[in-house]
Structure 1
Amino acid sequence: MNLSGKTVLITGGTAGIGQQMAHQMRALGAEVIVTGRSPEGLEWMRSLGFEAIAANLSTPEGSQAIVDALGARPIEVLVNNAGQGVDHDFREGPPDPDAADDCIYANLNSPIRLTVALLDRLKARPEAAIVNVTSGLAIAPRGGGPVYCATKAGLRSYTQALRAQLAGSNVRVIEALPPVVETRMTAGRTSKKMPAAECARQIVEAIEKDRTEANVGQVKLLQMVHSISPALARRIMLRF
């Protein structure tokens, strides 16, 4: 897809991978709209000339706020990038079920709601794309983050089924699977992290080259291990 002249909506576009994607896609000639829930992040992106929509996607009202702000405007690319983590480890104490609900809504329900709300306008364009940002953890979960991993695995399954439904249409369905990336969500992690700008670059390249999957960084290796032995991939990742 040639992004020049395309209107792109990036959820979670005021920080991290989403923010980097916004800059890179605008540099390629796209008109980029971002969403976020941090007032400071929203104002920063507006100061740089981006349209920024306030929306908390861990609630049903979040996706509706985006649809209302868009009005009837056409878009060619929907990037479901917004996501959040949650502590859910019984080895460290009783988890918070309300926090789990927020994570599930932000990572799974809201991408589905936005897809339903915006698919008709995507279909109305000569070419369009839905990009769902999952995670390498959608392939094999880590032991300390079962809820987050479950949401990403769920979004991966949704993406694959949606791709089959839209086969032959003008809407390409792309899954982006990042590794551990240097973002606010991973601030407490000590493992090696990919810079957000490089992760975004690989995802944008996949969109430009019309790939169905963007296996970013070390996720390529995880995919290879999983293709040989899913059980081995699970054993490796469940240690973390």
Structure 2
Amino acid sequence: MEISGRTVLLTGGTAGIGEQTALQLKAKGATVIVTGRNAERLKAMRERGFEAIQADLSMPTGAEDILRTLGDRSIDILINNAGQGVDHDFREAQPDGDAADHCIYANLNTPIRLIAALVPRLKQRPQAAIVNVTSGLAIAPRAGGPVYCATKAGLRSYTQAIRAQLAGTSVSVIEALPPVVETALTAGRGGKKMAADECARQIVEGIEKGRAEVNVGLVKVLQAVHSASPALARKVMLRF
């Protein structure tokens, strides 16, 4: 898919993978509309030439704010990148149900709402794409993040189903599965982390090449292990 000249709506585009993806798409000639919660980061993105919408996607009003601001504008590419984690480990403390709800809304409900609202206008474009950023943890969960993993697995299933529904239309449906990336979400976690700009580069390349799945970095290895033995992949990942 040619990036130049496209209009992109990118959620969670003011930091981390989203910020780097926005920069790379803009460098390739796209008009990029980013969303975020932090007013200072949104201002910084506007100063760099991006359109920016303030919206909290962990609640229903977030998607509504985005859609109201967009109005009837045409969109070529929707990238559901925004995501948040939540502490939910019974070995550490009693989990907070409200915090889990916010995580579920940000990572699963809001992408579904945006897709449902924007598919009609995406189908009007000669060539369009929906890109859902899930995670390697959508393939096999880690024990310490059950809610986050569940939202990403849910978005992966949703992505696969709507890809079948939209087959034969002008809308491609792409899933991007990053590994552990150096972002605020993974701050404090040990182990090897991919740089956000390299993760973004691989995602953008996947969009350009029209790949249905973009397995980023070490997720390629996880996919191979899971293909050979789902039980082994789960056993390995649950240790983290």
Q: TM-score range by the shorter chain?
A: over 0.9
Is 2:208 aligned against 1:187? no
Match of 1:48 in 2: 48
Match of 1:68 in 2: 68
Match of 1:223 in 2: 223
Runs of 4+ residues over 3 Å off in structure 1 = none
Distance in 2 between the 1:133 and 1:188 partners?
A: 22
Name the SS of the counterpart of 1:131 in structure 2. strand
Distance in 2 between the 1:69 and 1:191 partners?
A: 40
Match of 1:100 in 2: 100
Name the SS of the counterpart of 1:44 in structure 2. helix
Structure 1 unmatched runs, 5+: none
Spell out, residue by residue over 1:28-81, the C-alpha distance to the aligned partner (whole angstroms, 9 max, x if none): 110000000011110110111100000000000000100011011101000000
Match of 1:238 in 2: 238
- Residue type of the alignment partner of 1:196: A
Is 2:124 aligned against 1:124? yes
Structure 2 unmatched runs, 5+: none
Match of 2:170 in 1: 170
- Residue type of the alignment partner of 1:98: D
Distance in 2 between the 1:137 and 1:230 partners?
A: 13
Distance in 2 between the 1:39 and 1:73 partners?
A: 23
Name the SS of the counterpart of 1:188 in structure 2. coil
Name the SS of the counterpart of 1:129 in structure 2. strand
Distance in 2 between the 1:78 and 1:157 partners?
A: 18
Distance in 2 between the 1:218 and 1:93 partners?
A: 31
- Residue type of the alignment partner of 2:94: P
Match of 1:59 in 2: 59
Match of 2:110 in 1: 110
Alignment size in residue pairs? 240
Let me know the Cα RMSD of the aligned residues: 0.4
Name the SS of the counterpart of 1:175 in structure 2. strand
Distance in 2 between the 1:55 and 1:93 partners?
A: 30
- Residue type of the alignment partner of 1:63: A
Name the SS of the counterpart of 1:236 in structure 2. helix
Spell out, residue by residue over 1:61-104, the C-alpha distance to the aligned partner (whole angstroms, 9 max, x if none): 00010001101110100000000000100000101110000000
Spell out, residue by residue over 1:200-219, the C-alpha distance to the aligned partner (whole angstroms, 9 max, x if none): 00000000000000000000
Is 2:105 aligned against 1:90? no
TM-score (norm 1): 1.00
Spell out, residue by residue over 1:157-207, the C-alpha distance to the aligned partner (whole angstroms, 9 max, x if none): 000000000011100000000000000110111111100000000000000
Match of 1:13 in 2: 13
Is 2:155 aligned against 1:155? yes
Distance in 2 between the 1:82 and 1:51 partners?
A: 16
- Residue type of the alignment partner of 1:72: D
Name the SS of the counterpart of 1:111 in structure 2. helix
TM-score (norm 2): 1.00
Spell out, residue by residue over 1:207-233, the C-alpha distance to the aligned partner (whole angstroms, 9 max, x if none): 000000000000000000000000000
Distance in 1 between the 2:154 and 2:219 partners?
A: 18
